[in-house]
Amino acid sequence: MAAAVPAVNPVIGGADVDSRDRVELAALDGTPLASVGLAPRLLAQAALNRLRSAPAGPPPAAEVFAEAGELFATAELDGESPEEYRRRVVMATGTPSGAITRAIQGIRTQLGMIERINQAEYPEPFTAPGYRTVWVPRGALLAAIVPNNHPEPNVTWVRALAMGARVLVRPGSKDPFTPRRLFAALLAAGVRPDTLAFLPGDHDMGEHLLSQADLGLVYGGPAAAARFARRSDVLVRGPGRSKVLVGAGAEEDKELLDDLVRWISDDGGVRCNNISLVLTSGPVKPLADALAHRLAELPVRPALDERATLPAVSPENAAAMADHLAGLTKQATDHSTHRYGGPLPADPGDGTRVLRPLVVSVDRPDDPLAGTELGFPFVVVAPWRPADGVRPLRESLVVSLLGEHAALADTVLREPSVRKVVTGRVTPWSGVPETPHDGSLAQFLLEPKGLVTAEADS
C-alpha cells in the first residue's frame, strides 16, 4: 500500500487550516510529493485582518530566533525530519542535495546572529541628552512572495519579523517546504502565532496580499522586477545577472579557471550571485573554450546524491529547456554541447534529467544575450574594452573585478544598478553580516522618528 502523500496547508494563528482547493505537487520523477492546500482570497484576507488587528508588542528576542534556527536544522517538526525536508526540496526543485544541506546550515547560522545582521544595516544611532532617534516599522504588515530556487532567501522575511513586522508569506509553487518548516520552528521557539501567516496560493492571491499589506517583498524574474520597480512600498529582489571582468591570458591561468568554474556552477548555478556573464579584455573564444572544457568535466549525478553539482529537472521540462536554449543562443557560438556527445540534458538514471553547463560567446558586450540568467550553469563570454566603461557591468547584483580591473571598483560602486563589488580572487557571495548583499532591508522596513524627553530642558 502506497504511503500517504503529506499535506501542506495554510497556517493562520499558529494552526493548520485545511483547504478544499488543493494542488498535487509532483517530484521531478513524477511521483507524488505533497498535497498543497491553497489559500483562496477570502482566507488570505481573513489572515491579513487577523494580523492587522493583533495587539502590538515588541519583536521576539534574538534567542528565540537562534532556537528556531537550531530546530529548523536539527529537529523533527510536524512529523518531518531534516532528512525528509531535504529530500522533498531536492525532488521538488532539482537543486542539488549538497546545496540544500549547506542552505540548512546557512539558515541556522543566520538565525543565530539575526540581531547582528539587522543591526549592521542601521545608521549610526544619534543620542544626546534628551534627544534620541528611534527606528520603527514603516508599516505593520509585510507581504513576502518568496522563491523556489534556493532556501536561504527565506531568511529575509524572518529578519523582518525580528524588526517588528508581521509577515504574510506566499511560498513558491515548487518549494512550500522551506517556509512551512521555518514557520513550525519559529512557532515552537515561541514566536507569537498572530505575527505570521503561511498562505500558499496562486499569482492573483499574491497580488492581493501585495495590494492590501503595508509593504511588500517580492522575489522574481525580470517581469516582476519591471512591474514593481517604481513602487516605493515593494522591495524587489530580482535577477542577479552577476558578472566578472577578467584580463588577457585568463584562458591560460588554471587556478583562475578553477575559480571561475566554481563561481559559475556552485550550488548548481541556481543562485542569484552565480556568475552568468564573463567579460574579458583578452580574446573571447579561447576563454570560452577553456571554461566550457572545465565545466564539461562536472559529473552527472542524481540530485539526491550529496556529491551532485548540477541541478535536475523533469524529462518534460528538460525537453522544453533544450528547445528554448536552441532558440535563445542561435546567434551565439556554442562552446559546450558538442562536448557531451548528445543533448545538453543528461539522464542520471533516476527518472530526472540533469542540466549540464552551457558556455556561449558573443561578439559584443551589449549583445542581447549578455546578462541572461538561467537556473543552471549558463554563462556568456563577451569582449570588454576600456572604452566600454561601466555600461556592460550595469544591472548586476555582484560585479567581480580581477587583476588590473580592480582599479575600477570605486567607479563601479557608484553605478546605481550595481549592488556589490568584489575585487580579487574572492567568491562573489563572500561577506560578513556587516556587508550589504542587496541594499538594506532595514532601511526599507524601518523609518527614523525623533524622541525628545524632559532631559532636553535640563
C-alpha cell belonging to residue 287: 576563454
- Position 401 in a domain: yes
- Position 452 in a domain: no
Percent of the chain with pLDDT over 70: 99
Closest CA to 281 of 387, 416, 171, 417: 387
Q: What is the per-residue pLDDT for 220?
A: 85
Could you tell me if 248 and 220 lie in one domain? no
Could you tell me if 227 and 331 lie in one domain? no
Q: Is 238 helix (H, G, I), strand (E, B) or coil?
A: coil
Q: Which has more confidence, 371 or 111?
A: 111
Distance CA 75, CA 52 (A): 31
Q: What is the per-residue pLDDT for 1?
A: 37
Could you tell me if 98 and 31 lie in one domain? yes
Distance CA 238, CA 261 (A): 23
Least confident stretch, 69-73, 190-194, 219-223, 353-357:
219-223
Least confident stretch, 7-11, 105-109, 299-303, 440-444:
440-444
C-alpha cell belonging to residue 173: 509553487
> In this structure, how many other beta carbons lie within 10 angstroms of the beta carbon of residue 304?
18
Could you tell me if 211 and 259 lie in one domain? no
**Region 276-285 average pLDDT:** 98
Could you tell me if 174 and 65 lie in one domain? yes
**Region 180-187 average pLDDT:** 98
C-alpha cell belonging to residue 406: 580592480
Convert the pLDDT of each residue in 396-429 to its tens digit: 999 999 999 999 999 999 999 999 999 999 999 9
Percent of the chain with pLDDT over 90: 85
**Region 120-147 average pLDDT:** 87
Alpha helices (H) along 120-221: 155-162, 177-189, 203-212
Looking only at the bridges linking them, the beta strands covering 166-170 and 196-198 are: parallel
- Position 444 in a domain: no
C-alpha cell belonging to residue 163: 524588526
Q: What is the per-residue pLDDT for 67?
A: 98
- Position 62 in a domain: yes
- CATH assignment of the domain containing 365: 3.40.309.10
Asked whether 179 and 89 are in contact (CB, 8 A), the reply is no
pLDDT averaged over the chain? 94
> In this structure, how many other beta carbons lie within 10 angstroms of the beta carbon of residue 212?
17
Contacts 24+ apart (CB under 8 A), 256-262: 256/402, 256/425, 257/290, 257/291, 257/294, 258/294, 259/425, 260/291, 260/294, 261/291, 261/294, 261/295, 261/298, 262/427
Alpha helices (H) along 4-61: 41-53
> pTM for the complete prediction?
0.94
Distance CA 260, CA 294 (A): 10
Range of the domain at 211: 7-238
Confidence of residue 3 (pLDDT cuts 50, 70, 90): low
- Position 448 in a domain: no
Convert the pLDDT of each residue in 136-153 to its tens digit: 889 999 999 999 989 999
Q: What is the per-residue pLDDT for 134?
A: 84
Confidence of residue 458 (pLDDT cuts 50, 70, 90): low
Confidence of residue 448 (pLDDT cuts 50, 70, 90): confident
Convert the pLDDT of each residue in 189-217 to its tens digit: 999 999 999 999 999 999 999 999 999 99
Could you tell me if 198 and 79 lie in one domain? yes
Domain boundary among 204, 238, 272: 238
Single-letter residue type at 214: D
- CATH assignment of the domain containing 70: 3.40.605.10
